[in-house]
Amino acid sequence: MISFKKEETKQYSFAEALVEVTYRIADATEAETVLTDKWKNTDVFKKFVTSVKSADVEGWEKGVTAEEVVSLPGTFNLVTVVTFDIVKAMRVEAQRKN
């Protein structure tokens, strides 16, 4: 049986801080819904991000929720970059073999 990754953890540089973000990888049905309905970045972030931690950001040492990150001013760039990676993980590679 083939088993695909269900979760991804990546580190991002954000305002001179290192932030670790863990997000859930969408299944095919969720991916199709998100991509065809063109969800907002904030909605994708809140739906799929499971953990945000940073030793460099006060109050984020033990982790904060996706909703908390989205509600904070100045986090737009972080939300946008993470959402790009989430959506990229949804896209299934299909190429024609020559």
Summarised one tens digit per residue, pLDDT across range 71-83 is 999 999 999 999 9
d(CA 23, CA 48): 5
d(CA 68, CA 49): 11
Whether 95 maps to a domain, the answer reads no
Q: Report pLDDT digits (tens) over 40-61.
A: 999 999 999 999 999 999 999 9
Number of domains in the chain: 1
Give SS3 for 72: coil
Range of the domain at 46: 7-90
